[in-house]
Structure 1
Amino acid sequence: MIDLEGLLIENPVVAAIRNDNDLNKVKDSNVHIVFVLYGSLLSIGRICKELKEKKKVVFVHLDMIEGLKSDQKGIEFIKEYANPFGVITTKQGYIKYAKNLGLYTIQRIFIIDSLSLDTAIKSILASQPSAVEVMPGVASKIIKSLEKQIRLPIIAGGLINTKKEVMESLAAGAMAISTTAQELWE
């Protein structure tokens, strides 16, 4: 089994792609890990296949796949037909089921206030994902607080558009960052 933490340490910039134009650009980039934030039941297999042919480590965001029903069969479909390295979701139940299928899991959380931080920590401790993606990723204080309490790899995502923001997120304790800013993929 691959060590996700080591993979993130070696590849701290993760490409987050939202369309086929991003897909075509990321295939020839130096980025090793790709978060797929788009697609449908008809296209997700092709998207993952193209990325894996370029030796990319693929995570599919379950909540963003058009036509995917929010249940266990939907996760089984993704595992069978797209076969990503792992999945991303905001849903605690998806994390548990995907882990049972042998997929790596990233729980995406949105922190807007102290209540959402407390709720997120409880959810993370209950579901035990492989890693956590914190949104917005420019929230270094939140990253430091989470790192102390959950002891899992943290990926900062959202609103990260400059090298300075990448460095700040990593300095705050994030193991990696995800970004749609193509200039940071190199």
Structure 2
Amino acid sequence: MNKDTILDYISESPIIMAVKNEIELDRALEEDSKIIFLLFGNIVNIADYVKKIKQHEKYVIVHVDLIDGLAAREISVDFIKKYTGADGIISTRINNIKRANELNLFTIFRIFIIDSMALENLETNVVKSSPDMVEILPGIISPVIQKIKNKIKIPIIAGGLISDKHEIIEALNAGAMCISSTNKNVWGL
């Protein structure tokens, strides 16, 4: 896995399919996009889901915080690396991002911008964790995305609540490199 290859695919196809169940996963496997964010699973089936995605020649980034049965500690990242073959992780936890970097996994630091304090802490958290990308939620806050783009030099993903082409264009114009969505209606836009 080459981190630059993942970034290249993301820049070529700026809508990332985020899946939260098996039905959505099966649909995502039929789409052209090469990147899938896996937002569900447990320690028993996560390796099977990753294998299924890889068999379709796609890259899989696992949201490690959402996998049932994994602790909120760095050892969960080791598990993902050793037993699943995933290409990367998403996490809201700085220590998980740091550990994934040590293991040469693609890293996405996810943060919910719910108030000015979260916005102020973002730059510090990015410096501490050195992720490959930062996912900002909700993704429909274009003016805030623009402010963040001016503060950090890491590519931004706009995620959450994006439901139409206008919102996608707005997020991209504000400085996001791509958007992620569980909304199947926007995957093909």
For residues 163-174 of structure 1, the aligned pairs below 5 Å read 163-174=165-176
Q: Give the aligned residue type for 1:78.
A: I
Stretches (4+) displaced over 3 A: none
Aligned residues: 186
For residues 155-170 of structure 1, the aligned pairs below 5 Å read 155-170=157-172
Match of 1:60 among 29, 38, 62: 62
Match of 2:43 among 38, 41, 52: 41
Any stretches of 5+ residues in structure 1 without a counterpart? none
Bigger mean CA offset, 77-86 vs 88-97? 77-86
The offset of 1:17, in angstroms, is 0.3
SS state at 2:17 partner = strand
> Take 2:63 and 2:116, find their aligned partners in 1: how far apart are those partners?
25
TM-score by length of structure 2 reads: 0.95
> Take 1:13 and 1:55, find their aligned partners in 2: how far apart are those partners?
17
Identity of aligned residues (%): 39
TM-score by length of structure 1 reads: 0.97
> Take 1:9 and 1:105, find their aligned partners in 2: how far apart are those partners?
16
Q: Name the structure 2 match of 1:145.
A: 147
Q: Give the aligned residue type for 2:170.
A: E
Q: Name the structure 1 match of 2:75.
A: 73
Q: Give the aligned residue type for 2:85.
A: N
Question: Could you say what the CA RMSD is over the residues aligned between the two structures, in angstroms?
Answer: 1.0
Q: Name the structure 1 match of 2:85.
A: 83
CA change 1:5–1:31 in 2 (3 A) is closer
> Take 2:74 and 2:120, find their aligned partners in 1: how far apart are those partners?
27
The offset of 1:99, in angstroms, is 0.4
Q: Give the aligned residue type for 1:73.
A: I
Match of 2:99 among 74, 97, 116: 97
> Take 1:109 and 1:177, find their aligned partners in 2: how far apart are those partners?
14
The offset of 1:173, in angstroms, is 0.5
Q: Name the structure 2 match of 1:8.
A: 10
CA offsets per residue over residues 37-94 of structure 1, 9 Å max, x none? 1000011001111111111111000100000112222211111111111100000011
> Take 1:121 and 1:109, find their aligned partners in 2: how far apart are those partners?
11
Is the Cα contact below 8 Å between 1:30 and 1:185 reproduced in 2?
no
Is the Cα contact below 8 Å between 1:166 and 1:177 reproduced in 2?
yes
SS state at 1:88 partner = strand
> Take 2:180 and 2:144, find their aligned partners in 1: how far apart are those partners?
16
